Structure 1
Amino acid sequence: MTSHLADDALARLSRPGAVPAQHQRHLDDCPDCRTRMAVWQGIGDAARADAVEQTVAVPAFDVLMGPALAAAGQQGETPAPETVAPPPRPARRFAPHGFPEPWRLAGLLALRQAALLPRIWAPLSALGIVGAALLATTFTQERLALRVFGGAVVLLMLFGALLVASPRRDPRRELLFTLPVPPAAVFLARLTVVLSVDVLLALACSALVDGPGWRTVVASWLGESLLAASLALALSVRFAPAIGAAAGGTLWLLGLLSGPEGMFTTPFQDLLGALLSTTPWTLVLALGLLGWAAMAMRRAGGAAASD
C-alpha cells in the first residue's frame, strides 16, 4: 500500500514551480493525493489573487501631478497650496455650579480625603489649639505666652503632617495607589485638608492671645510650624515615619528652647531665630520640602504600578 503525501508536502508542491519527479509519479498514481493537491492549489490561487487586489500601485509623480503643472504653466499661475484650518480648541468644561472641571475634581478629592482621615484628628487639633490660646492668656509675660501658644500650634501641625505621611500599617495608604488619579494628587489633597484646618484654627485662635497683637502672634508660629511639618513629612515619605517624627520633634524642641521667643539663651539662638522665624525664605524652604515629598510619593506610585 502506497502512503499518501502529507498536507505540508502538498502545500509546498502547490506553489508555482516544477514538481519533483518522484512526487509527480505518486500524484499520477494516487487519485486521493491529486484531489488534495487540487484543494491546496485552489487555496494558493485564491490567496495570491487577494494579495494582488489589495496591492495598490503608487503612481509616479509625473503621472500624478504632470497634467496639473502643465495646465498651471500654460496659464502662468502656480497653484496655491491648500491651507488646512487648525482644529478648534476644545471648549473649557465647567461643572453645573460654574466651576472649571479640574477645580471641581480637586475639591471632590479633598472632601473624600477629609472623610478618610481619623475622626479624632480634627476635634483633637481644635481642642489643643483653643486650649493653648486660653492658657496663653493667663500669662502676664508676652514672651512666655507666645512661646506656649506657638509651641502648641507647631506640635499639632507636626502631628497632622505625620498623619498625612500614612505609615505602611495604615490601611488607608493603599487608596493612594488604587484611585484613578496619581498618588501624588491624592497625597497633596490630604495634605491640603490637614494643613488648611490647622492653619485656619490657629489663625482664628491667635486673636485670643492678648498683648502683642494678632500679626505678631501669627508670625511667632507660622514659619516654624510649616517648616517642622514639611520636614517631618518629607523625611517620613522618603525614608520612614520614625525618621520624620524624630526630625520634626527635634526641630520643635530646639525652637521651644532656643528659637524665636525661646526659653533659654544658647550659642545657636541667632541661627535658629533666622531659620524658624516667619520669613519668605522659611516659607520657600517649607514649600521645597513639600515638593520633595510629593515627588517621592509619585515615584512610589510608579513603583507600585510596575509591581
Structure 2
Amino acid sequence: MSASFAAALAAAREAAGAQHYPPGALYIVATPIGNLADVSLRALHVLQLVDAVACEDTRHTQALLRAYGIEKGAWLSVHRHNEAEGAQQVVARLQQGQRVAYASDAGTPGVSDPGARVVAAVRAAGLPVVPLPGPSSVTTLLSAVPAQQEDSAFVFFGFLPAKAGERQQAVEALRQEARAVVLLEAPHRIAALADTLAALGARGITVGRELTKQFEEIASLACAELPAWVQASPQRSRGEFALVLHPEARVQDDAEAQRVLGLLLAELPLKTAVKLAAEITGGSKNELYDKALQIKNGGVR
C-alpha cells in the first residue's frame, strides 16, 4: 500500500465513519474499472467495516483490497457459475447479523456482471441492500460521447451475442433504435463486432478502450470506419471495450413541427402536446416547449 492510500483510508474513516451502516445488510460496492484512485471514500470505509466480502474472483478482489491496505479474513466466491448457491451463503451470513459487501471484478455489480441474483435473493429474504455508487464503464463513456443527446436517453444493451448470425440479427435490430445504445465487448471479439457494426454505415459510434487506465483510448467515428480503426494497431485488440452507438439523427421541419404543435395545443395540455409533437415530427422537445409557451402567450400565431 502506498502512503497515498494510507491517507485515503484515514480520509474514508473521517468522511464516512459517522454514517449509519446497518448490520445484516448487503453492501453493493462499485470498484474501479482500471484506475485505483477512482474508488470512493465510502467504499473504502465499508470494505474495512464489513464482516465478509463476496466477490466474482477472490484472488482479484483480495489483490485490490491489499493495494488499499485492507485485509479481510472472510471471503465468499460468488460468480456467474455459482451465483444462486453463493447468494444463499450471503443470505445465511446476513441472517446472523453480519455485514457483507459484494464486488464484481470491476465497475458496478449487476451491470453485465454477477450480482443481480445475489440482490434478488437478499431482497426475497426480506433483508436490506445498500448500494454504493461508483465507477461504471457505461456512464464513464457516455460522459465523453460528443453526439447530441438532448433528452439524455440511452439503451444499455451490453454484450451482443457471440454467434455471428445472432450478432448480425441484433445489429439489424439496433438499426431501428433511434436512441444512443451502450455496448460492451471483450478484446478477443472486438474485431468481429466491428465488422458487424460496419453495416450501420455512416451512423456515429464512440469507442472507449481501457477506460481510466494509462493507455485509455476514446475515438468517435462512423460505424463503417470501425473495422479499419481496430486493425490500425495491434493494441486495439487488447483491453476491455465500451462502445456507444450514437443516437440516430432526426430531420426536423420547423414549420411542420410548429403546425402540428399548434393543432395539438388546441386540444391537449401543453406538456402532452409537446411530447406528441416531438414524437410525430422528430422535433426537439426543448425547442417545441419554448414554441408552445410562445403560442400560449400569444407570441406565435
Same fold (TM over 0.5): no
Higher helix share: 1
Q: TM-score, normalised by structure 2?
A: 0.20
Q: TM-score, normalised by structure 1?
A: 0.19
Q: Which has the larger radius of gyration?
A: 1
Task: Please state which structure has a larger fraction of its residues in strand.
Answer: 2
